[in-house]
């Protein structure tokens, strides 16, 4: 069974003993993110902060940082998630309107909203322009067809009812805004925080333009998404979310937004971007605010899953796929296969390189290599790759398209790090029987510290 609300997901993590509770007072300015960074470099557990300066709300982060959690939220396991999500492509399930929505337990009207007070002021990177909503999903309807789109867009919290956000075509939200603006009309939007997990995934996916992402989320979670009419805009919003900021993106208005530290660890510098004015803020009475560090493990796990599904769809007809990983970043991937021929590896390399626009490098490894473990993958590159014949280079083909960094992302390369067929039966990878059963704490007790 899928987990259909952010709150239920936190409860599920807590019941397993995974959720790390932070009771002490924490500043939302850099301290919260510093704790998160240490957690992501270490055990990578989800975090729930109970005492964040300046807000009565609790703050959750690193919630979807593990592949197991992401799969479980869809009622799946890490082994089944790629083929099953590929099979669910194109499926939709109509939403259900409910009368009593937890997300509307508190309603703050437009004149009373101060986003610099009502939303936790989490500041992430050193040079960020200030507090941003970093785990907010914009819901909007195509002004021409009424279809719902969901997308993640960072949002700068300015103050009062005012926020700034970048939304540019080809992103679907940017296309909606451009269409509304062409008619001199504001675009009604709802910024959803603490959304149902399936909606978070739909928002990270490149779903075809005319597919409805609320209905897609319903199909992905195996039950209709529970929605409620927003209070001040003509939109349905998820009834079980933690917080929704309703409002309009103003036509023909741009203000300076940024800088903001983005997912590749550099900054998106100041740009003249869109202005979002709130008309209501609704939330649960004990709302839990969600934030995501751009480029941290939660962000990369979410976006990585979408990339892995795309690659899986394309390479599955070519080879038996053990798994696909995106260790380190999401501008490349590692495909682990049950290799049957050298030509098959070549076909997987060529296909995976074009499976997603961002794909800058591909590594193909044998099924005994863990594609999520960067050390194991590099072991395969060191030990099994023959650079004279094992590389495929596509010069001049762009990958990540953002203007300020496009020169860095020119050309693609694929690496065959599988054992050549002629050597398969001659060179064994050694194994250490029983290693996986050893628990070091059963052996190391540090009592006999003396070396006498």
Residues at the contact surface with ligand FMN, assessed by CB under 6 A: 135, 149, 151-154, 171-173, 203-207, 292, 299, 302-303
Six-digit token string for 170: 């080809």
Q: Are strands 187-193 and 243-257 parallel, antiparallel or unpaired?
A: antiparallel
Nearer to ligand FMN, 47 or 135 (CB): 135
Cα–Cα distance for residue pair 288/28, rounded to 1 Å: 14
Minimal distance, residue 138 CB to ligand FMN, in Å:
8
Minimal distance, residue 315 CB to ligand FMN, in Å:
21
Minimal distance, residue 381 CB to ligand FMN, in Å:
28
Nearer to ligand FMN, 49 or 148 (CB): 148
Minimal distance, residue 204 CB to ligand FMN, in Å:
4
Minimal distance, residue 268 CB to ligand FMN, in Å:
9
E-strand ranges in 9-69 read: 20-22, 47-49, 58-61
Cα–Cα distance for residue pair 110/237, rounded to 1 Å: 18
- In sequence order, the β-bridge partners of residue 236 are 229
Residue 160's Cβ-count burial label (10 Å; 0-12, 13-18, 19+) is middle
Nearer to ligand FMN, 206 or 320 (CB): 206
Nearer to ligand FMN, 303 or 349 (CB): 303
Nearer to ligand FMN, 150 or 345 (CB): 150
Cα–Cα distance for residue pair 156/153, rounded to 1 Å: 10
Nearer to ligand FMN, 9 or 302 (CB): 302
Minimal distance, residue 297 CB to ligand FMN, in Å:
12
Minimal distance, residue 267 CB to ligand FMN, in Å:
13
Number of neighbouring beta carbons within 10 Å of residue 382:
9
**What DSSP element (H or E) covers 237?**
strand 236-238
- Give the three-class secondary structure for 140: strand
Nearer to ligand FMN, 107 or 168 (CB): 168
Nearer to ligand FMN, 143 or 390 (CB): 143
Six-digit token string for 381: 């590159």
Report DSSP letters for 344-396, one per residue: HHHHHHHHHHTSSTT--EEEEEETTS-TT-HHHHHHHHHHH--TTTSEEEEEE
Number of neighbouring beta carbons within 10 Å of residue 248:
18
| CA 326 to chain CA centroid, nearest Å | 13
Minimal distance, residue 287 CB to ligand FMN, in Å:
19
Minimal distance, residue 152 CB to ligand FMN, in Å:
3
Closest alpha carbon to 312 in 371, 260, 360, 265:
371
Residue 368: phi, psi to the nearest 5?
A: -85, 0
Closest alpha carbon to 69 in 119, 136, 19:
19
Nearer to ligand FMN, 74 or 204 (CB): 204
């Amino acid at each position: 069974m899928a987990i259909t609300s952010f709150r239920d997901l936190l409860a599920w993590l807590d019941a397993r003993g995974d959720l790390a509770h932070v009771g002490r007072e924490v500043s939302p300015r850099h301290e919260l993110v510093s704790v998160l960074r240490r957690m992501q470099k270490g055990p990578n557990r989800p975090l729930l902060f109970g005492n964040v300066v300046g807000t009565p709300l609790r703050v959750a982060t690193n919630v979807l940082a593990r592949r197991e959690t992401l799969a479980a939220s869809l009622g799946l396991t890490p082994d089944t998630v790629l083929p099953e999500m590929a099979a669910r492509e194109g499926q939709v399930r109509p939403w259900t309107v409910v009368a009593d929505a937890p997300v509307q337990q508190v309603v703050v009207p437009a004149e009373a909203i101060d986003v610099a007070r009502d939303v936790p002021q989490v500041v992430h990177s050193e040079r960020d322009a200030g507090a941003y909503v970093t785990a907010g999903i914009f819901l909007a309807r195509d002004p021409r067809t009424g279809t719902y789109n969901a997308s993640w867009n960072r949002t700068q919290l300015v103050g009062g009812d005012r926020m700034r956000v970048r939304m540019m075509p080809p992103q679907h939200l940017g296309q909606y805004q451009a269409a509304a603006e062409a008619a001199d009309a504001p675009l009604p939007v709802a910024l959803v925080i603490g959304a149902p997990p399936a909606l978070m995934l739909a928002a990270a996916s490149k779903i075809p333009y005319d597919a409805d992402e609320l209905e897609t989320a319903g199909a992905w979670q195996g039950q209709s998404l529970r929605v409620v009419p927003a209070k001040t805009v003509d939109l349905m919003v998820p009834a079980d979310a933690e917080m929704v900021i309703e409002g309009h993106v103003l036509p023909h208005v741009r203000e300076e937004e940024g800088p903001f530290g983005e997912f590749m660890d550099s900054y998106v510098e100041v740009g003249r971007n869109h202005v979002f004015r709130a008309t209501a803020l609704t939330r649960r009475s004990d709302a839990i605010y969600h934030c995501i560090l751009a480029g941290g493990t939660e962000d990369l796990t979410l976006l990585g899953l979408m990339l892995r599904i795309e690659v899986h769809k394309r390479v599955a007809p070519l080879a038996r796929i053990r798994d696909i990983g995106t260790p380190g970043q999401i501008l490349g991937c590692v495909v682990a296969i049950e290799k049957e021929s050298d030509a098959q590896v070549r076909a997987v390399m060529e296909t995976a390189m074009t499976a997603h626009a961002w794909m800058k490098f591909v590594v193909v490894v044998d099924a005994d290599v863990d594609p999520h473990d960067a050390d194991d993958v590099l072991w395969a590159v060191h030990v099994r790759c023959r650079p004279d014949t094992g590389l495929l280079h596509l010069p001049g083909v762009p990958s990540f398209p953002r203007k300020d960094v496009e020169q860095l992302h020119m050309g693609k390369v694929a690496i065959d790090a599988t054992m050549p067929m002629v050597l398969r039966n001659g060179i064994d990878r050694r194994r250490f029987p029983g290693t996986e059963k050893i628990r070091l704490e059963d052996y190391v007790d540090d009592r006999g510290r003396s070396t006498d």
